Structure 1
Amino acid sequence: MRLNADFTQRASVHFDQTDWVPSPAVGVERKMLDRIGDEVARATSIVRFAPGSAFSAHTHDGGEEYLVLDGVFQDELGDFPKGTYVRNPPTSSHTPATEPGVTILVKLHQFDPNDRTVVRKSMDGAGIVPLHQDAHEYVRIENWAPGASVSIDAPGGIEVFVLDGSFVEDTEEFATWSWLRLPPGSQLLTTAGVAGARVWIKSGHLLGMI
């Protein structure tokens, strides 16, 4: 499968305009944002676990990065409630599950093979909240005031995911849980909505994809 797989092009997906697709695990569905591959894939997805559901134990050869959007994500390492950011590096393994149900944004097989950095932290905070930074990427939360004009140079590309509120980019409105990706060499130019916007941003990581 190839979905939004041309990283030289702008790509966007709106949460309320896409359908849930069943996964191989009972009670686990996903909305695919970008994907190269089948079940083992370089992928960015919104994944929803029904209460009491689980995925079989597996190893993340290419790493796993996720944001807990709603509910509680659970595995052998603990409980991760809404507002948690997690990076499980290559060679890590776990058995994901949830008793109350959970929705996450997850990115798979997108780590540097030598990365062994584990991150587990809250995304709460005002202004800019750094989550992770290395030679390849910068991951953070940004809080934009109502009506704010935002300009971000993105020589290495950029992804923006709306956690709360909304923004407009190139006449296109992005509401909660919608996603935008711009290629390397871009400039992100946005205007926050009337309620402002709280967004997750990853930048600098797309240079190797073109």
Structure 2
Amino acid sequence: MSSSKLVNQTYLELNIDLTQAVQIQGGDVLFSPTPMAGVERMMFERCGDEVVKRATSCVRYAPESYFKSHSHPGGEEFIVLSGTFSDQNGDFSEGWYVRNPVGSSHRPFTDEGCEIFVKLSQLPPEEEATFALNTNEQLWMPVSQHESRLILWQSSKEETSLHQYKAGFERQEAEEDALNEFFIISGTLTVNGQGYPTRSWLRFPPHTPLAISTDEGAKVYRKKGAGQVRC
């Protein structure tokens, strides 16, 4: 379920109503070209033109491609899904998680090609420094027999984490006063009776009951909160 409105040729409003649930099945949204050759994106939510007020997407870079130098008025958050993403801060291979603060700028490029899951203009101004975490070198915390969790970022506004769910995991969660967002990195996650494969993106408004399970296992990016940033 998703909704969009094209205001002009460059300004797009897509899934911007945070009071509405959005469930996008992996494969239902295709990659589309960007203004830069060799760079494509799969858009899940967006408000704005190329200088967006809010956006969530997968971005895929072909080998030896780049994106022109640009700033992030509302900050940037991304996790590298494959390949190696590079900018003036370094080279980030699969598994790196990065937060670039409000007002930061860079010129992304890649030698071998890469894909990232990226969120734009959703960081608070009090985050003043770039944060980078290699999730491959971190110790995951066991939550239960069928779940491990790695906290990526935690503050009074949000909790962002990775979850590794083993086959047979199931849980009925209590309703929370916060947005709940899921991106399926691998495997298939069932939420409220519906299965969602790799590259699915889900967003639920506060006080939504959530029943989560998996038959085959899944690796999932999850964010709670951060709903105060709107279009």
**Which deviates further from its counterpart, 170-179 or 121-130?**
121-130
Tell me the amino acid that sits aligned with residue 158 of structure 1: N
Q: Does 1:189 align with 2:211?
A: yes
| Equivalent of 2:41 in 25, 30, 39 | 30
| Equivalent of 2:60 in 48, 51, 64 | 48
- State the Cα deviation string for residues 51-107 of structure 1 (Å, max 9, x = none): 000011111111000010011001111110011100001121111000000000100
| Equivalent of 1:78 in 63, 82, 90 | 90
Structure 1: 5+ residue runs without aligned partners?
none
Tell me the amino acid that sits aligned with residue 199 of structure 1: V
Residue 112 of structure 1 corresponds to which residue in structure 2?
Answer: 124
After TM superposition, give the deviation of residue 186 of structure 1 in Å. Answer: 2.0
- Number of residue pairs the alignment of both structures matches: 209
Identity, in percent, stands at: 38
Residue 26 of structure 2 corresponds to which residue in structure 1?
Answer: 15
TM-score by length of 2: 0.85
| Equivalent of 2:163 in 105, 127, 142 | 142
CA distance in structure 1 between the aligned counterparts of 2:85 and 2:133, rounded to whole angstroms? 13
Q: 1:166-185 to 2 correspondence within 5 Å?
A: 166-185=188-207
Which aligned segments of 4 or more residues in structure 1 are displaced greater than 6 angstroms?
none
- For the 8 Å contact 2:177–2:207, the answer to whether it is kept is yes
Residue 60 of structure 1 corresponds to which residue in structure 2?
Answer: 72
Q: Is the partner of 2:27 in helix, strand or coil? A: helix
Q: Is the partner of 1:86 in helix, strand or coil? A: strand
- For the 8 Å contact 2:83–2:113, the answer to whether it is kept is yes
Q: Is the partner of 1:56 in helix, strand or coil? A: coil
**Which deviates further from its counterpart, 28-37 or 108-117?**
108-117
Tell me the amino acid that sits aligned with residue 37 of structure 2: V
Q: 1:153-172 to 2 correspondence within 5 Å?
A: 153-172=175-194
TM-score by length of 1: 0.94
Tell me the amino acid that sits aligned with residue 190 of structure 2: V
Q: Is the partner of 2:74 in helix, strand or coil? A: coil
Tell me the amino acid that sits aligned with residue 94 of structure 2: K
- State the Cα deviation string for residues 117-144 of structure 1 (Å, max 9, x = none): 4221123454110110111101111111
Structure 2: 5+ residue runs without aligned partners?
1-11, 141-147
- For the 8 Å contact 1:158–1:206, the answer to whether it is kept is no
